[in-house]
Amino acid sequence: MALQNQTFQLNIQTDLKFGIDIVREELANSIKAARKKKAFIVTDKGLVDAGVIAKVTAPLEEAGLSYYVFSDVLPNPPANSVMAGVETYKREEADLIVTIGGGSAIDYAKALAVGATHEGFVLDYSIGRKPVQDIVPLLFAIPTTIGTGSEVTRVSVITDTDAGRKLVLASSYLVPKVVFVDPTLTLGLPRAHVAATGADALVHAIEAYVSLPANPFTDGLALQAIRMIWNNLPQTYAHAANLEARAQVHLASTLAGMAFNLSGLGMVHSLSHPMSARYHVPHGLANAILLPYIIEHNLPANPRKYADIARLLDPALYQETDKDAAAALISLVQQFLRLIDIPETFAYTGIEFTAVQVEELSEDAMNDHGTVHFNPRKAVKEDIARIYKRALPSV
State the CB neighbour count (10 A cutoff) for residue 161.
13
* Pairwise CA distance, residues 268 & 254, whole Å: 19
Long-range Cβ contact pairs of 52-59 (< 8 A, separation 24 or more)? 52/100, 52/144, 52/185, 52/188, 53/100, 55/23, 55/24, 55/185, 56/23, 56/27, 56/98, 56/100, 56/142, 56/185, 58/24, 59/23, 59/24, 59/25, 59/27, 59/28
| Residue 10: inside a domain | no
Contact call for residues 111 and 169 (beta carbons, < 8 A): yes
178 and 197 together in one domain: no
Half-sphere exposure in the Cβ direction for 4 (13 Å, CA) = 0
**Domain check: are 368 and 259 in the same one?**
yes
pLDDT for the residue numbered 325: 98
Residues 67-105: pLDDT tens digits? 999 999 998 899 999 999 999 999 999 999 999 999 899
Residues 253 and 210: beta-carbon distance below 8 Å: no
- Listed residue (348, 189, 357, 201) closest to 281, CA to CA: 348
pLDDT in tens, 155-181: 999 999 888 888 899 999 999 999 999
Edge-to-edge strands, sheet with 66-70 = 15-18, 178-181, 138-143, 96-101, 38-42, 66-70
**Which is it for strands 165-170 and 155-160: parallel, antiparallel or unpaired?**
antiparallel
Q: What is the CATH number of the domain that holds 199?
A: 1.20.1090.10
The count of residues in the chain is 395
* Integer-rounded Cα radius of gyration of the chain: 20
Do 180 and 196 reside in the same domain of the chain?
no
Looking at residue 354, its amino acid is T
Q: Is residue 283 part of a domain?
A: yes
What's the pLDDT score for residue 23?
Answer: 95
Gap between the Cα atoms of 373 and 106, Å rounded: 24
Q: Which residues contact 153 (CB under 8 A, 6 or more apart)?
A: 175, 257, 260, 261
Residues 49, 196 within the same domain = no
What's the DSSP call for residue 128?
T
- Does residue 33 sit in the same domain as residue 180? yes
Residue at which a domain ends, from 186, 213, 248: 186
**130 and 27 in one domain?**
yes
Structural domain ending residue among the three candidates 186, 219, 239: 186
d(CA 275, CA 107): 18
What span, in angstroms and rounded, lies between the C-alpha atoms of 229 and 223? 10
pLDDT number for residue 291: 98
Long-range CB pairs of 309-318 (<8 Å, 24+ gap) are 309/206, 309/209, 309/223, 309/226, 312/223, 312/226, 312/227, 312/230, 313/226, 313/230
Question: Is 21 among the domain residues?
Answer: yes
263 and 282 belong to one structural domain: yes
Reported pTM: 0.90
Domain that holds residue 46: 15-186
User: How many separate domains does the chain show?
Assistant: 2
Cα 144 off chain centre by: 12
Residue 4 lies in a domain: no
List, for the chain, all residue ranges whose pLDDT scores fall below the cut of 50. Answer: none
Answer yes or no: is 218 within a domain: yes
Residues 6+ apart with CB under 8 A from 50: 188
85 lies in a domain? yes
Residues 295 and 325 placed together within one structural domain of the fold: yes
| CATH number of the domain residue 162 falls in | 3.40.50.1970
Is position 331 within any domain? yes
Domain boundary among 142, 168, 186: 186
Q: Are residues 103 and 170 in the same domain?
A: yes
Three-class DSSP category at 388: helix
Clarify whether residues 88 and 221 are in a common domain: no
Whole-number Å distance between alpha carbons of 180 and 137: 18
* Same domain as 179, residue 271: no
- 5 within some domain: no
Of 284, 263, 260, give the one whose Cα is nearest residue 272: 284
Q: How far apart are CA 260 and CA 193, in angstroms?
A: 21
Quick one: DSSP state of residue 303? H
Residue 146 and residue 231 in one domain: no
